[in-house]
Structure 1
Amino acid sequence: MQTVLTDSPAEAAAFLNQGELVAFPTETVYGLGADCRNDAAVSTIFTAKGRPSDNPLIVHISDPSRASLVAGDISPSAQLLMQRFFPGPLTVVLKKNDTVSPLVSAGLPTIGIRCPAHHRAREFLRLCHHPVAAPSANISGRPSSTDWQTVSHDLAGKIRCILKGEQSSIGVESTIVDCTGSKPVLLRTGAISRLDLEDAAGCMIADATRMTDEQPKSPGQKYQHYAPQAEVILYEHDMPPAVIPLKAGCISLGDPLPGCSITCRCHSLEEYAHHLFRFFRRCDISGAKAVYCELPPASGIGSALRDRLQRAAGHR
């Protein structure tokens, strides 16, 4: 299959409306989209990515008003969160209606819904006939793609079209909140902090228990994610590792570890998030044997970074 590269949201949407897979930019990471009502198209997402079939997908909408196209009921807590953070880097989990392919929700009665803030993503989504089911546009388990070049590296020849855009401004996936129960539950951390969520919802946000053998209710709960080919080694700023192997990378907030030949020093948590997955890809290209990652403080987007780093390291 020849993969078409395009700057045109209209051309990309035409492919998707014909049942094809299309990668598209968002402010978090690039997504890999299919018509959420088309079983055959949705199934090819799992094939192209090598994604486990019990890992549900997020449905993307162009406008908050379109949530009712896929949700059977929008709870009061979801309405408050959507009013504050749609469009933006938030996914809310709601009861789904029967129009959505059961493959999208992995057979669950719930669906994750997001309205991205990215202008080209929203233009593309407006031109799609139906809401778009889309996980991150990468090989399952590998670092998410934050630019169209890495999407092409992973998926060229497996998908029909890549809608080009600039590098994703945030760089980590959306915050996910389950709004189907009596109180909201945080399923995945992201750029929106718990304090901001609680301020908007007017209540405490509970933590989900870590998934083991259970079916995940949202992406990012069960499987190892985000890992480069090299071993990921985490360290605290005041406890650097004693021995650095040859051909190692280091991403840090302070001075990089001496002896690392591939480095990325970040001056803020936001900069760390923006560069993380791209740095993992750079280490892969450079043949790094290990990637040392300074653990950021667990505040703001730092909580999301710690989650992604721990998953990349296999919770070591």
Structure 2
Amino acid sequence: MPTLLTRDPSDAVAVLEGGGTCAFPTETVYGLGALARDAEAVEAVFQAKGRPGDNPLIVHVADLEAVEGVATMTEMGRRLLEAFAPGPLTVVLPARSGLAPTVTAGLDTVAVRVPSGIALEIVRGVGAPVVAPSANRSGRPSPTTWQAVLEDLDGRIDAIMQGPPTAIGIESTVVDASSRTPVVLRPGSVTLAQIRDVCPDARNADHGDGTIRSPGTRHRHYAPRATVTVVDLEDAQPGSDAAWIGVSEPPDGYGLATVCADLEDYARRLYDAFRRADAHELTRIEVERVEGDGIEAALSDRLRRAAAR
């Protein structure tokens, strides 16, 4: 069956309410939605994406009260959600019963967030928790436009909401808030410094520190078909077979160059630039190295994962 394309959020709500799969824009990337308590609908998400079954999903809900319908709220979780929801922060909490079993990948915790914008409108319209992993084939760059969703999932899902490009461009920050010490499992646009303003003891995960609790950390992610290399500007190696992505103006000679205005723009345009390089059939992508504790940490994480082979 052809994938329905729509600009009306009420169509997305109807598809989801009927047990179907629908991609829609969140503030981070486009998500592939399905009812979180409908095992068949959730399985359709895994099948459409080719997603490994041991990779848990994020559940999207309308407000803090709805969070408590799928998870047991902790003190740290409440602090974080009161500070950052609606928004690009996901918290990992003890799971309640009732979710489709594959949502949590067999864990006793669930990742949950309250999105903003069109995504919140859709979740509110559905009136039930909605899973919404990135709306791409597993391992590919996350989609930041509806056209990217169509490229990956046309004919594999029921509907695509034709919304605007996403504002942030990288996935949400994920924090394990199931204990007294919050642990950042996946960096995002909500930074560790911001989290520490609310929970001073918060820390980044150590290598191998239970990161299976977070979607988007166990398997290779965010990768185009071209080989990705993280470089400093002085080590750039132009070529007609290569693309450059970064905030610095590169040397002449690249087949394609994306020069971003600042780090936020770098994050917002990264995945689309990956896809453009693939569309031009380039074989190499050089991405400019970033270092720091703010959005740089999230960018560095995505670049590292894209470069992993």
**How high is the TM-score relative to the length of structure 2?**
0.97
**Aligned residues between the structures:** 309
Q: Give the unaligned 5+ runs of structure 1.
A: none
Q: 2:229 aligns with which of 226, 233, 240?
A: 233
* 1:276 aligns with one of 259, 270, 273: 270
The amino acid that maps onto 2:257 is T
By how many angstroms is 1:188 displaced? 0.2
Equivalent residues in 2 for 1:196-275, closer than 5 Å:
196-201=194-199, 203-211=200-208, 216-237=212-233, 239-241=234-236, 243-275=237-269
Amino acid at match of 1:277: Y
User: Which residues of 2 match residues 67-106 of structure 1 at below 5 A?
Assistant: 67-71=67-71, 73-106=72-105
Q: Give runs of aligned pairs for residues 32-71 of structure 1, distance below 5 A.
A: 32-71=32-71
The one-letter code of the counterpart of 1:176 is: V
- 8 Å CA contact 1:253–1:296 kept in 2: the answer is no
Contact 1:210-1:221 within 8 A present in 2 as well: no
The secondary structure found in structure 2 opposite 1:251 is: strand
Give the 3-state SS of the residue equivalent to 1:113 in structure 2.
strand
- Residue 134 of structure 1: aligned partner: 132
- CA deviation string 1:23-43 (max 9, x = no partner): 010110000011000111101
User: Aligned equivalents of 1:283 and 1:211: distance in 2?
Assistant: 32
CA contact (8 A) 1:210 1:222 kept: no
Partner of 2:157: 159
Give the Å deviation of 1:278: 0.4
State TM-score, norm by structure 1.
Answer: 0.94
For 1:15 and 1:274, the matched residues in 2 are separated by: 28
After the TM superposition, which residues 185-204 of structure 1 pair with which residues of structure 2 at under 5 Å, given as runs? 185-201=183-199, 203-204=200-201
Structure 1 stretch displaced more, 137-146 or 257-266: 257-266
Contact kept? 1:231, 1:313, Cα under 8 Å: yes
Distance 1:56 1:162 in 2: 22
Give me the whole-angstrom Cα distance separating, in 2, the residues matched to 1:18 and 1:186: 35
Cα deviation code 1:34-63 (max 9, x no counterpart) = 100011110111110011000000000122
Contact kept? 2:211, 2:217, Cα under 8 Å: no
**3-state secondary structure, aligned to 1:233:** strand
- 1:208 Cα deviation from its structure 2 partner: 1.9
The Cα of 1:215 is off from its aligned counterpart by 7.7
The alpha-carbon deviation at position 181 of structure 1 amounts to 1.7
- 1:19 equivalent in structure 2: 19
Aligned residue for 1:29?
A: 29
Q: Aligned to 1:177, what secondary structure does the other structure show?
A: strand
Please tell me whether the aligned partners of residues 76 and 179 of structure 2 are also in contact (alpha carbons under 8 angstroms): no
- Call closer, same or farther: CA 1:42–1:194 in 2, change over 3 Å: same
Instruction: Extract unaligned runs of 5+ from structure 2.
Output: none
Equivalents in 2 of 1:219, 1:256: separation in Å? Answer: 34
Structure 2 counterpart of 1:297, which letter? E
Which of 290, 303, 306 pairs up with 1:296?
290
- How far, CA to CA, are the matches of 2:125 and 2:251 in structure 1? 48
1:310 corresponds in structure 2 to 304
SS in 1 for 2:102: coil
Alpha-carbon contact 2:239-2:255 (below 8 Å) kept? no
Contact 2:46 2:53 in 1 (8 A): yes
CA–CA distance in 2 between the matches of 1:172 and 1:296? 15
Which residue is equivalent to 1:150? Answer: 148
3-state SS of the aligned residue for 1:216? helix
RMSD: 1.5
Q: Going by fraction, where is helix more abundant, 1 or 2?
A: 2
3-state DSSP of counterpart to 1:87 = coil
Kindly indicate whether the alpha-carbon contact (under 8 Å) linking 2:22 and 2:158 is maintained by their aligned counterparts in 1.
Answer: yes
Q: Which residue of 1 aligns with 2:280?
A: 286
| Paired letter, 1:216 | I
